Amino acid sequence: MDPPSIDAVIASGKAHGATRSDIYGCLYFYLSEQLREFVDRLHRFDITVHLFNEDAGQLASGIRSGEVADQGLPASTRFDRVDVSNIMDVEYLGIRETLRCWGP
Q: What is the mean pLDDT of each run of 10 residues along the chain (104 residues)?
A: 86 94 95 95 86 86 91 87 84 89 82
Closest C-alpha among 25, 11, 101 to residue 59: 101
- The residue type at 46: D
Residue 37 is predicted with a pLDDT of 95
> For the segment 35-64, what is each residue's pLDDT rounded down to a tens digit?
999 999 989 998 878 888 888 888 888 999
Average pLDDT, the chain: 89
Beta carbons within 10 angstroms of residue 87's beta carbon: 20
pTM of the model: 0.56
Residues 29/43, Cβ–Cβ less than 8 Å: no
Q: How far apart are CA 59 and CA 101, in angstroms?
A: 9
Count H helices, E strands: the chain?
Answer: 4, 0
Q: Please provide residue 59's backbone torsions phi and psi, each rounded to the nearest 5 degrees.
A: -65, -45
